[in-house]
Amino acid sequence: MRNRRVLFLVEVAIFSALALLLDIIPFLSFKLWAQGGSVSFAMVPVFIMAFRWGLKGGVTTGLLLGIYQIMTGAYIMTPLQAFLDYVVAFAVIGGAGLVAKPLWNAIKSKESRRLVGWIIVGCLIGSVLRFFGHFFAGIVFYGEFAPEGQPVWLYSLVYNGGYMLPAFILSSIVVSLLFVKRPKLLSH
């Protein structure tokens, strides 16, 4: 039991640090907007932890990633905005862990199609939850950047959807390829 706990803590530390690296290494991350938002592989390690360890692993890894983002120069306007945009938005990526058990069952029964389906569902859950964190922060804190005459909610939708949709697609493909080729990576 103790070894499993130590393994969990070590993996959270490693995967959250890897997620940050995947977000800040220039050729692995494409920055789209001046106030933040990029298409990167950063969610992949969080999804891996969510699928390996469930909600606890995913949320903890995402939470650490958000804290690391703040520590490495995040775009911060107010403490509440930082909390929504970084702590909440990155922690809820771990919501992908909601599908960990059906995903494991698909691996046990060697059903690749079902496995990919659950991976996509999990990545969608985590991505949509993260999107909502950024979307609400955008409505409350970034309205001043909306073009004149454009509703703030539409600006936030387009701004955050512009990088979250490609990030979801990229993450789903990478995680699917990884686990279809190496399903044993899900066991701990």
Q: 29 falls in which pLDDT band (50, 70, 90)?
A: low
Does the pLDDT at position 38 exceed 90? no
Rounded to the nearest integer, the mean pLDDT of the chain is 92
For the ranges 19-23, 32-36, 118-122, 137-141, the one whose mean pLDDT is highest: 118-122
Least confident residue range of 86-90, 93-97, 181-185: 181-185
CB 56 within 8 A of CB 98: no
Give residue-wise pLDDT tens across range 116-158: 999 999 999 999 999 999 999 999 998 888 899 999 999 999 9
Domain count, the chain: 1
**Is the pLDDT reported for residue 28 higher than 90?**
no
% the chain with pLDDT above 70: 93
Residue with tokens 């990884």: 178
Quote the pLDDT of residue 143: 84
User: What is the residue range of 68's domain?
Assistant: 2-186
| pLDDT value for 39 | 82
Which pLDDT belongs to residue 32? Answer: 63
pLDDT at 27 over 70: no
Rounded distance between C-alpha atoms, residue 12 and residue 53, angstroms: 10
Per-residue pLDDT tens for 56-77? 999 999 999 999 999 998 888 8
Phi, psi of 151 (to 5 degrees): -60, 140
- Euclidean distance between CA atoms 71 and 77, whole angstroms: 14
Q: Give the pLDDT score at 33.
A: 60
User: For position 54, which CATH number holds?
Assistant: 1.10.1760.20
Q: What distance lies between CA 129 and its chain's CA centroid?
A: 9
